[in-house]
Amino acid sequence: MANISFNNVKIVGISACVPKNISYNSDLLNEYPKEEVDKIINNIGIKEKRFVDSDVTASDLCFKAAEQLLDEMNIDRSSIDMLIFLSQLPDYRIPATSPNLQDRLGLSKNTACLDISLACSGYVYALSTAFAYASQNGINKVLLLVGETFSKIVSKKDRVNAPLYGDAGTATLIEKSENSESFFSLYSDGSGFKSIIIEAGGSRCPTNSTNTIPVEREDGNYRSDSQVYMDGLEVFNFTLKVVPKSINDIISYSKRDIKNIDYFLFHQANKFMIDFFVKKLKIDSEKVPISLDTFGNVSSPTIPLTIVTRLNKVSKNEKRQILMSGFGAGLSWGTSILDLNDCHICNLIEY
């Protein structure tokens, strides 16, 4: 476990962009038995998701979110010192996507750029990275872009994954700020790396004419090795074991009282998991906003997307101490406690 604290950095703005295309899980009645579809909607809690067009990438969604955020906050683009792009679906294998976003957004050539690849824990990890850079001399503002387009890597005939994943892109602006305090705890367990994996397409198993063809797998699922696989039960058990403990750990590390946390922002994996956390930690469900019902599991952007769509009506002057918890592929998980006081939260945009 890596425990990190910051005393002079905060989030000042957040925006999010989702595709206009809506996919309803009720339409799965054409593919699956009614009892399976009912379970997906009622237990997992996902009613609909958003899918990009074939020519739209995660960076396109992030670009739209960033444009909105910078314009609404009237940010001088030359004042952005660093841009971080987090996604498992970059535009190209080479080059990195962040320099291209720097150019598209009209940021200064003095802007440092960095790509990060991490899954559902990614926002917490990337936020800690952004805070670390912003706390250094010479860097005052960091623009963090986090987006995924899982619709491009999920088989529509995979009963485990097809009902779960949607697409989204987000932008978060971090800058120096006096009298702000935040805490991060980061974890990993690589022994479970095969629990969520795309086997083909990397250096260990390059793409070929065979591993891009969907074939029948377990329980009648169809998927190629170039599409995402998840051992749902293993991930489920791992999550229920590590997440409550990590939250208790950061409460202890930060010397906070869990009763004083205003909102708990969990990665939007499924409703059953989140309900378990609420019960296990004895927290008020009113403090736990849910966005997966209308957007599904969008992987790394779920937390900022939830903030934009569920907390955007909260007054800027209202106390907003939040706890974030991200968890997933790697296996990797992380928690954070920080505040969103005076944070500008944009309205959701569609693209």
Give me the residues paired with residue 169 across strands. Answer: 17, 147
The alpha carbons of the chain give a radius of gyration, in whole angstroms, of: 19
Phi, psi of 67 (to 5 degrees): -55, -45
CB 172 within 8 A of CB 200: no
CB 214 within 8 A of CB 157: yes
Give me the residues paired with residue 196 across strands. Answer: 230
178 CA to centre of own chain? 27
Q: Is 2 exposed, middle or buried (0-12, 13-18, 19+ CB in 10 A)?
A: exposed
Q: Is 231 exposed, middle or buried (0-12, 13-18, 19+ CB in 10 A)?
A: middle
**Cβ-proximal residues to 30 (8 Å cutoff; 6+ apart), any chain:** none
Which positions are annotated as active-site residues? 120, 267, 297
